[in-house]
Amino acid sequence: MKLLRYGSAGQEKPGMLDEAGQIRDLSAIIGDISGDVLTDAGLKKLGAVDVQTLPVVSDGSRIGPCVGAVGKFVCIGLNYSDHAAEAGQPVPTEPIVFMKTTSAICGPNDDVEIPRTSQKTDWEVELGIVIGKRAKYITEAEALDHVAGYCTVNDVSERSFQSERLGQWTKGKSHDTFGPIGPWLVTRDEVPDPQNLNLWLEVDGVRRQDGNTGTMIFGVATIISYLSQFMTLNVGDVISTGTPPGVGMGQKPKPIFLKAGQVMKLAVEGLGTQEQTTIQA
């Protein structure tokens, strides 16, 4: 299934994509794409619904973040060796973990703000994981059973805030609109191998990133198991798994960063495409 949320910001309704690519309204069945809806039982209930009986949503509706009421937005840094190299960092020996604030989350096609005083706003296409079962001290063998589904994420980053200011990466990762997720959550049964997905990103029509999740240093199962040793992962938590090479700070002969009026377009194979215009905050 491909689940999504549509409508104005803060007032999104739950929906499902049918085989013809039409949005079908789920409001009569569930309140949101969140909480118990994301568990195995909740998804099984939705899977039994005859999609053709659901109302069709009119064209032109805004697509919101594919998950509502996200509790944690956890990210993995430098998870592709060639991205670590372009960042001038050693290949990590264990996952680098940081957080994005949930207030950074926005819809997949919403405008992305360039923060005031920003000089180095950057792009990062990533595979996102949505947790569907509470995970604490789980093994890698158990990990994928704790996944509700997957989505496309743009881990927008301000590099000077992230790396040239004191403290942690969080303040370079958490500006409003720095976390587009969606357009839809694709349930795990439709993603048999999360370690074989192509992902790409373009800026103003120029391909900047082109990678495959098979080249991750730490795969999806490893990441989930690893995080569960340090924190409880709850239903609806989102994990962003790192980006392949080609980010702005790694461009040669010199870095290229975003400015207002540009267009980012990005996708993870099978998980839908995002498109954002940058605006000044």
Residue 208 parent element (H or E): strand 206-212
For residues 236, 241, 246, 247, the Cα torsion angle rounded to the nearest 10 degrees is 60
How many domains does the chain divide into? 2
pLDDT at 135: 98
pLDDT 10s digits, 261-277: 999 999 999 999 999 99
The torsion region of residue 22 among left (phi > 0), alpha (psi -120 to 50) and beta comes to beta
Does residue 61 lie within any of the structural domains?
no
Per-residue pLDDT averaged across 229-243, rounded? 98
Per-residue pLDDT averaged across 28-56, rounded? 97
Does residue 88 share a domain with residue 19?
Answer: no
Does residue 78 share a domain with residue 6?
Answer: no
**Backbone CA torsion sign across 150, 154, 160, 165:** negative
CATH number, domain containing residue 191: 3.90.850.10
Per-residue pLDDT averaged across 47-60, rounded? 94
Residue type, 86: E
Does residue 65 lie within any of the structural domains?
no
Does residue 86 lie within any of the structural domains?
yes
pLDDT 10s digits, 132-174: 999 999 999 999 999 999 999 999 999 999 999 988 899 999 9
Does residue 139 share a domain with residue 25?
Answer: no
What is the rounded CA–CA span in Å between residue 232 and residue 94? Answer: 18
Does residue 98 share a domain with residue 44?
Answer: no
User: Is a pLDDT exceeding 90 seen at residue 59?
Assistant: no
Residue type, 62: R
Does residue 77 share a domain with residue 47?
Answer: no
Cα of first residue to Cα of last residue in the chain, in angstroms, is 36
Does residue 66 lie within any of the structural domains?
no
Q: Report the DSSP beta bridge partners of residue 167.
A: none
In sequence order, which residues have a C-beta less than 8 Å from that of residue 71 and are 6 or more positions away?
102, 234, 236, 237
Per-residue pLDDT averaged across 176-200, rounded? 98
Does residue 123 lie within any of the structural domains?
yes
Does residue 215 share a domain with residue 141?
Answer: yes
Q: Which of 27, 5, 272, 24 is nearest to 150 (CA)?
A: 272
Does residue 177 share a domain with residue 234?
Answer: yes
Does residue 45 share a domain with residue 113?
Answer: no
Structure tokens at 154: 């743009």
Does residue 60 lie within any of the structural domains?
no
Does residue 46 share a domain with residue 122?
Answer: no
Range of the domain at 7: 2-53
Does residue 101 share a domain with residue 224?
Answer: yes
pTM of the complete model = 0.97
> pLDDT class for 84, splitting at 50, 70, 90?
confident
Does residue 249 share a domain with residue 176?
Answer: yes
Task: Give the whole-number percent of the chain exceeding pLDDT 90.
Answer: 94
